Amino acid sequence: MQAKSIIVWILIGIAAGWLASVIVGGGGLIRYLLTGLIGAFVGGFLFNAAGIKLNLGHPLVNEIVVAAAGAIVVVLVARILA
């Protein structure tokens, strides 16, 4: 994996985690990153399983929205379990 790909993943994770925190609460840069990265995997799985394809004009925006949706699910499930 190239360094550029890792940086893009980190930026997507931070953006998705921040969006999730705006919607369901929470905070902190590390928490944004972890929630966003885990949410990217969860969101990707859920969107593929449901057969949902996004076309919001730019692939990066699509990835951020999918990751944010997954991060919201992760935060809500974590709150239910806690």
pLDDT in tens, 23-36: 998 778 888 888 88
CA distance linking residue 67 with residue 23, whole number of Å = 13
How many separate domains does the chain show? 1
Q: Token pair for residue 30?
A: 């590390």
Res 43: pLDDT: 92
Write out the residue range of the structural domain in which residue 15 sits.
3-81
- The per-residue pLDDT for range 38-62, each reduced to its tens digit, is 999 999 999 999 999 988 889 999 9
CA distance 32 to 16: 7
Q: Which ranges of the chain does DSSP label H, i.e. alpha helix?
A: 3-24, 29-50, 59-81
